[in-house]
Amino acid sequence: MALALGRYGEDLAARRLAEAGMTVIARNWRSGRSGEIDILARDGDALVVCEVKTRRAGPFEHPMEALRPRKADRLRRLAECWLADHGGPPPGGVRIDLVGVLLPRRGAPVVEHARGVA
């Protein structure tokens, strides 16, 4: 169930990024045991490392509050691994974005995109 929820949230996030003019270049990219980048995208000449957090409405924290400093550090390390494997940093640099997906009990999902969160 949690995997399906996460995949659904990532699908919505990828769609939102594409609607914002970005090109999704990889999803669920893994670097050994270091972890996973949910979505990698290009925004002009910048590389965007995107963390996706999906939550059902309820007593849990809002998805936009879920990126802690430790996770941000891991995403930076993973971005360095990606760049080492793919020819170094692009001219526009690297940015870490967060997409939060909130699934209400009724109605359409709420998708929020925050740029440059870490």
Segments of the chain scoring below 70 in pLDDT:
1, 60-61
Q: What is the pLDDT of residues 44-75, one digit of tens each?
A: 999 999 999 998 887 766 777 777 888 889 99
Q: Write down the pLDDT at residue 1.
A: 55
Please state which of the four CATH numbers 3.40.1350.10, 3.40.220.10, 3.30.70.260, 3.30.43.10 is assigned to the domain occupying 2-114.
3.40.1350.10
Handedness of CA 109, 65, 5, 31 (dihedral sign): positive
**Residue 99 and residue 16 in contact, taking contact as beta carbons nearer than 8 Å:** yes
Going from N- to C-terminal start, the domains of the chain cover 2-114
User: What local confidence, expressed as pLDDT, does residue 64 receive?
Assistant: 73
CA angle 13–110–107, rounded 5-degree value: 125
